[in-house]
Amino acid sequence: MRADRDYYGTPMEKSVKKIVVVGAGTMGSGIALTAAQSGIHAVQVDLAQSQLEKARGYHTKQLGRLVEKQKISADDAKSVAARIVYSTDFSSARDADCVVEAASENPEVKKKLFKSFVETFDAETILATNTSSISITDIATVTGSRATHVIGMHFFNPVPVMKLVEVIRGLATSDETVARSLDLARAMGKTPVPANDRAGFVSNRVLMPLINEAFFAWMEGVARPEDIDQIMMLGCNFPMGPLRLADFIGLDVCHDIMMVLYRELGDAKFFPCPKLRQLMTAGRLGDKSGCGVFDYPAKA
Ligand code: NAD
């Protein structure tokens, strides 16, 4: 039986038909594409026109690859692309079922956005954040009575490939918001798993100290970066080494997540290693800037 049909083959009503994705970087562009591939209309929003163009280029490239590999037809690729619109403003999409915020990992940026979500979107719109580490309850403080509709939907990178969505309810999140968010995650082909509202939830609380320690090992000359990664891959069965993964996530994003963990949990082990901070200051942010711990000339 197809996932979008009932027992009799009748297309099922999707409870989410239109989403707004705020932030068109690594995560936002992946979330918008995955939604469109699942038949959901997506409005891709960013402050920067250049980021919207980059996201559009990424969508075109990904869909082209799927056509080349004969995973979808050229017509299907066109329909998916037609379901995404790009805008520097979300006020025209007030009737969206859900807004997923995927802007920078900064509490002030997110709170400012959530304040304007309340002013913009219909009362029933789910207000979801893709934050990696910031408290959902804290973000919801700026939404007043709409805190019932605020939830964490933590997608993973690359979104079209990774199956997990960590779902985090804040103190005031309603059962209905949780149910509708689980529906959305499943409609996008994902497996939602609940986690409680503590800084970093499960994934980043466990992952970030590992990444940070890999930077310390490199800084202290324990091994070369490529050897640190190879040791963790061959010895611990990791599919990707921690330093390569840090580049993939973005060194600025790792830094911001570690700072939230450090501030909220008060443990020095989360404070970003000087080596990581040095690379970030130099603009070596990982894949997205063409270099980080390693070089990516094709992406520069
Ligand atoms: P990114 O730096 O690639 O993209 C962030 C985008 O947000 C940029 O395009 C920026 O222009 C835009 N932006 C910033 N402020 C904005 C605003 N006020 N309105 C609209 N757009 C705005 O970051 P990313 O890696 O995509 O991360 C986005 C969020 O997802 C963060 O909260 C991050 O912690 C989380 N996250 C990241 C990963 C990862 O692997 N990179 C994984 C899971 C979750």
What does 37-90 look like in DSSP terms, one character per residue? HTT-EEEEE-S-HHHHHHHHHHHHHHHHHHHHTTSS-HHHHHHHHHTEEEES--
**pLDDT recorded at residue 14:** 58
Q: Say yes or no: domain 205-290 is CATH 1.10.1040.50.
A: yes
The C-alpha angle with vertex 14 and arms to 63 and 86, in degrees rounded to 5, equals 45
Q: Evaluate if residue 287 carries a pLDDT over 80.
A: yes
Which residues does ligand 1 sit against, CB inside 6 Å?
Answer: 22-28, 45-48, 51, 102-105, 109, 113, 130-132, 154-157, 249-250, 253, 257, 288
Tell me which residues are annotated as active site: 132, 154, 166, 204
- CA of 130 from ligand 1 middle (Å) equals 9
Please give the Cα distance from 211 to 232 (Å, whole number): 11
Percent of the chain with pLDDT over 70: 95
Q: pLDDT (tens digit, 9 = 90+) per residue, 186-213?
A: 999 999 999 999 999 999 999 999 999 9
Q: pLDDT (tens digit, 9 = 90+) per residue, 97-150?
A: 999 999 999 999 999 999 999 999 999 999 999 999 999 999 999 999 999 999
- CA of 102 from ligand 1 middle (Å) equals 5
Q: E-strand spans in 170-291?
A: 191-195
Domain ranges of the chain: 18-195, 205-290
Architecture per CATH, domain 18-195, reads as: 3-Layer(aba) Sandwich (3.40)
Q: Evaluate if residue 13 carries a pLDDT over 70.
A: no
**pLDDT recorded at residue 15:** 74
Pocket test for ligand 1, best of 20, 21, 22, 26 (most atoms within 8 A of CB): 26
- CA of 24 from ligand 1 middle (Å) equals 7
Q: Evaluate if residue 6 carries a pLDDT over 60.
A: no
In the sheet with 150-155, reading across from the earlier edge strand, the strands are: 84-87, 41-45, 18-22, 98-101, 126-129, 150-155, 164-169, 191-195
**pLDDT recorded at residue 12:** 47
Q: Are strands 164-169 and 150-155 parallel, antiparallel or unpaired?
A: antiparallel
